[in-house]
Structure 1
Amino acid sequence: MDVLDLARTQFAVTGGLHFLFVVLTLGMAPLVALMHTRWAMTGRPLHEAMTRFWGQIYVVNYALGIVTGLVMEFQFGLAWSGLSHYAGDVFGAPLAMETLLAFFLESTFLGLWIFGWGRLPRWLHLACIWLVTLTAYASAFFIMLANSFLQNPAGTVARDGRLELVDFGALVANKALVFSFPHVVAAGLFTGGMVLVGASAYMLRRRTEQAEFFTRSMRLGVVTAAIGITFTMGFGYAQFAGVQDGKWDNIGAALGLALMMEVGQLLGLVVLLVMLPLIRFLPRWRWAHPLLVAMTPLPFVLSIAGWVAREVGRQPWMIWGKLTVADAMTPGLTAGMVTASLTGFAGVLGLLAVVDYVLIARIVRRGPREPDLGAGVPRETRTPALSF
């Protein structure tokens, strides 16, 4: 491959691996917040156990995902300085906002939630996880705002060889954003729901002693997956109404789109017409549990296929109709330089992905007995009987 293809491959690998963490974060955050809300309102030990167990999985995925985001920043600065020079005044603003939200606000609130067990008043502790969720979704909004600008540079004009923002409202109301952002959010919910279903099916297959715990978790996962896949398909189809401007002519984009649509439709039928109507029986049907476990990776595959379709469909443009990918690349890069960075970045991100899923699998196999989250805090100080 020449240096341009290597640079594109580097971005695809780093972006794809990073998004595996992101989509699970977007799906798990509201589920953990909902579990914590039920615990705060009822005080039931079961809801506390669900909050701590699934919250621990969320924390592991978030912590490792942050590191993959840092790698993304490095590869951006290394390979795509032409983009920064031409459109940095526009493209850099939403990325800066995402950094403030993800690396400062979201991490701060998550830290307060992690270390606030038994120390913060119950409603303040609950507010922390909801603020984590809101900042996570705000972070995703700004990332999609930046990406949608690349797809359709609305609200900008070219002056003296650079793009300038002249209408912020047009940037926010970008036709490439209004359906793609809720599409990504819904895909996250679908992914989070299917992780609950798959992990619960695995534990119920083993005839675990915590049958009620994983029965409730599976049912919550099925409902969440049903909501997620419904809106994912709805907002996905809505994007075809004049939004893409013929971008599916690219064969790579067409293949990614075909995979996403065909497998997504099949999964949608299974979730909505089989799993949801049989939600009361699935936890008891041990013969179905291996099938549910096998379905768990599919939302991640679909998410990557969706990104391939969206990004490859823009080729050969980095900014549609304004800046080509070749012009966006850093001058002076050699194939050897990009190969070395690609190997290093892919190795680091690949290792982080493996570590993430190994840790999550260990947490699931260990079960909800005394998870590390909130450990060491006496039960009487953990219960939501506390008040301001």
Structure 2
Amino acid sequence: MMDADILARLQFTVTSGFHWLFVLLTLGLAPIIAIMHTRHVLTGNLRFERMTRFWGQIYVVNYALGIATGLVMEFQFGLAWSGLTTFAGNVFGAPLAMETLVAFFAESTFLGMWIFGWGRLPKVLHMLLFWLVTLTAYASAYWIMVANGFMHRPVGHEVRDGVAYLTDFGALLTNSSAINAMEHVVGAALLTGGAFVAGVSAYQFSRRTAEVDFFRSSLRLGLLFAVPFGIATVEAGFRQFPDLNVAQPMKMAVLRDFLQPEDRGPYTVEQVQSMMVQQYGPGDYAPPAWIGSAYDFMTITAFFIVVISLFGAGFLIRDHIVRSRGAALMVTVIIPLPFIAATLGWLVREVGRQPWTIYGELLTSQARSSVSAGTMLASLIGFTALLAGLAVTNWILIGRYARRGPRETDLGSPGPRVDPEPVMAL
């Protein structure tokens, strides 16, 4: 049987990795749907209302099942990482509490009002509700990145009797690791949302859809996000290197052979290892070397995303994508690429921090709960099966809506009329 530390890390990788893919699409679709809804309210064009309802129902499915994956992640966190909570709960407990309040209360409340407000609320108020959904979604992501940023670059605290205490909340909120990562996440999410909308629209053109105007408008808006944010995401990734050279020199040393000369850190793996042994004592402080390959594949995937997005924009000229099945299928390929790139980027960020849970302060072995390897294996199998089921359900439902098109949209549609039963006279 595997070591309990390895099983705990695998469990965290699986649960957080699955949840991250749901969050990525939720964040990416939200502003696109908000813009569609706004255009409907401002212009009165019913096509934008239909677009809002069609893409909105996909958003709702992904959001609901994403919440379920988030609950699974909370369970595994409590099961496997009590040492982390004991050491740093006083520091990132507040950001995680804020994230819970924003995501599980504010965001879900606004979304529920939006879902059930079709035809019942004034149009402007109804539209504003989804903008509030969008803003709270990004606020939730920010609070998560504040907590995660502390794990990568611990700031604004002091350690007393083996426990970290918050001393500077402002430093925690403006942590460069959190801010830089948030910029990268926002770009990746908007790229993912745009690529998804563009890819599904192109897929409909490959099937010779009759909804040409509907999916042409969707494709334009999707590419309007995918093209610039594809480039911006790559640039935001490169801008993290100077800070990483200071905060996580070992990660940059491992990535050294995969980076351009101007991005490389000043130290080799051997040099950083020697420095860390002197500072922290004996141990192997280098993360797995395969994160370099993950970084390489991430950048290659990002390159293809940008190229396909640009081709898609070119295919819009004279409706070439509407008439050419080959062009439509080429753009359809873009759908999974942002998820692949984001997963690889997440692995580089999180695995590249190993063997630290909180860089330079708390080792992963110290953060883990005192749970047996057998218990950890059983929970890993159970959580993986549950998350896989949620993911499969999510993509089956999304795929069904995407294939069906906007003709039979459930969101915002009036339910069947139910006549009251006649009252019997006494």
Q: What range is the shorter-chain TM-score in? A: over 0.9
* Distance in 1 of aligned mates of 2:187 and 2:300: 17
Find out whether 1:314 has 2:353 as its counterpart: yes
Question: What CA deviation, in whole Å up to 9, does each residue of 1:122-164 have, x standing for no partner?
Answer: 1110110000000000000011111110000111110111001
1:7 to partner: Cα distance? 0.4
Match of 2:231 in 1: 230
Question: Does the Cα contact within 8 Å between 1:222 and 1:279 map onto a contact in 2?
Answer: no
- Which deviates the most, 364-373 or 53-62? 364-373
- Which deviates the most, 242-251 or 141-150? 242-251
* Distance in 1 of aligned mates of 2:243 and 2:95: 25
Alignment gaps of 5+ in structure 1: 379-388
Counterpart of 2:212, as a letter, is A
TM-score norm. by structure 2 comes to: 0.86
SS in 2 for 1:321: coil
Alignment of 1:121-136 (within 5 A): 121-136=122-137
Counterpart of 2:215, as a letter, is F
Counterpart of 1:322, as a letter, is E
Match of 1:336 in 2: 374
1:96 to partner: Cα distance? 1.0
Counterpart of 2:300, as a letter, is E
Counterpart of 2:316, as a letter, is I
Find out whether 1:303 has 2:342 as its counterpart: yes
SS in 2 for 1:138: helix
Alignment gaps of 5+ in structure 2: 255-286, 417-426
Match of 1:385 in 2: none
Question: What CA deviation, in whole Å up to 9, does each residue of 1:344-384 have, x standing for no partner?
Answer: 11111111000001000100111101311011179xxxxxx
SS in 2 for 1:164: strand
- Which deviates the most, 242-251 or 294-303? 242-251
Aligned pair count?
A: 376
Question: What CA deviation, in whole Å up to 9, does each residue of 1:29-67 have, x standing for no partner?
Answer: 001100000011111110110000000000000000000
Alignment of 1:1-388 (within 5 A): 1-244=2-245, 245-246=248-249, 247-248=251-252, 249=254, 250=287, 251-272=289-310, 274-280=311-317, 281-331=320-370, 333-376=371-414
- Which deviates the most, 75-84 or 225-234? 225-234
- Which deviates the most, 292-301 or 236-245? 236-245
* Distance in 2 of aligned mates of 1:358 and 1:168: 43
SS in 2 for 1:158: strand
* Distance in 1 of aligned mates of 2:222 and 2:206: 16
SS in 2 for 1:276: helix
* Distance in 1 of aligned mates of 2:18 and 2:415: 35
1:215 to partner: Cα distance? 1.1
TM-score norm. by structure 1 comes to: 0.94
SS in 1 for 2:179: coil
Larger relative contact order (CA 8 Å, sep ≥ 6): 1
Larger gyration radius, structure 1 or structure 2: 2
SS in 2 for 1:184: helix
Match of 1:383 in 2: none
* Distance in 2 of aligned mates of 1:359 and 1:338: 31
